[in-house]
Amino acid sequence: MAAFAATMVVTSAFAEEATVAPVTGPVLGGSIELKFKEDAAGDWGATNTIGASITMPGTAFASFNVESVDGATAQLDEWQLGTEVNDGTVSIGKQGDIWVAAEGEHTIHNPKMDESIQLNMGKAAVAVEFGDFTNDVSDIEAVAGALTFGAGSATLKGAIDYDLDASKYTLGARADVDAIGGVLTYAETTEKFAYEVDGTVYGITAYINGDEDDMTRNLGASYAYDFNGIELEPSVNYDMNAEDFAPAVTATFSF
C-alpha cells in the first residue's frame, strides 16, 4: 500500500510534464438496416440485415464483422489481420478488393475477390487472391494492382486484375472531378467495354450505365439524409431496355 501511494504521488507530481499515451482498446460497432423493395407483382417486401463488428486499431490491427439477414444465423462476413509496413500496411483476410467502384455497377466488370493478401502503400495497392484458402493456400487464383493519381477534387485510378486460372485480364479506370465521376472497364473474357457515369448534386446521386453494345442500359438516382439519427435513402433504378422501374427505400441505424 505504501509503494502504491508513493507511485500515485510521483505520478501526480509529473502529470503536467509528462504526456501519457492513451490506452486504446477494441472499437465495437453495429448496424440495423431495413430495405424495402417493390417486386414484379407490385408488392413491397422488406429485408432486414443486422450486423456487428469489432476493430482493433494500432500498428498491428485486426477486425471482423458478422451479419444476419432476415433472422438467419449470424455468419462471418469479412475479417482482416494486418500490420503497418514502412508507409503502408500489409494484411490478410476476406477484406474486400482494390478495384474501381461505381454507384449502380450493373454493367461494369467487377472481378470478385475472396480471401487475399493486400499491400497498400498510399496511392498504390497490390492484392493476391487465394483460390482455396481453407484447403490450399498455395493455390493463387488471381493477382491485382491499382494506382491512383492526383488528390483532392481531381483523381484518376487505374486497376488491373489477372485471373491465373483463366489466363484472362480485366482492366478498370475511374476518373473524378469535383462531384462528377466515371468508370470504364474492359474484360478479356467478354472482349467488351462497359461504363458508368455518376454524380452528386444537392445530396442527390444519379448515374447512367451501359456497354459498347448498348450505351443506355440503366438510369438511377438516390437521396440520403439523416432523419433524427436514422439514415434514410430512397432510390430508384430504371432499366431502359425492359422499361421497368425498381424503387427502394433503405433505413439504417449505426452505432
Task: Give this prediction's pTM.
Answer: 0.83
- 60 pLDDT above the threshold of 50: yes
Please determine, for residue 9, whether its predicted confidence score (pLDDT) is greater than 70.
Answer: no
Domain-wise residue ranges, the chain? 80-254
Q: What is the average pLDDT across 21-42?
A: 85
Whole-number pLDDT of residue 22: 55
Model pLDDT for residues 38-54, shown as the tens digit of each residue: 887 889 999 999 999 99
Residues 154-212 pLDDT 10s: 999 999 999 999 999 999 999 999 999 999 999 999 999 999 999 999 999 999 999 99
Strands 136-151 and 124-132: antiparallel
Lowest average pLDDT, out of 22-26, 85-89, 185-189, 239-243, goes to 22-26
Q: Give 230's contacts (C-beta < 8 A, 6+ positions apart).
A: 251, 252, 253
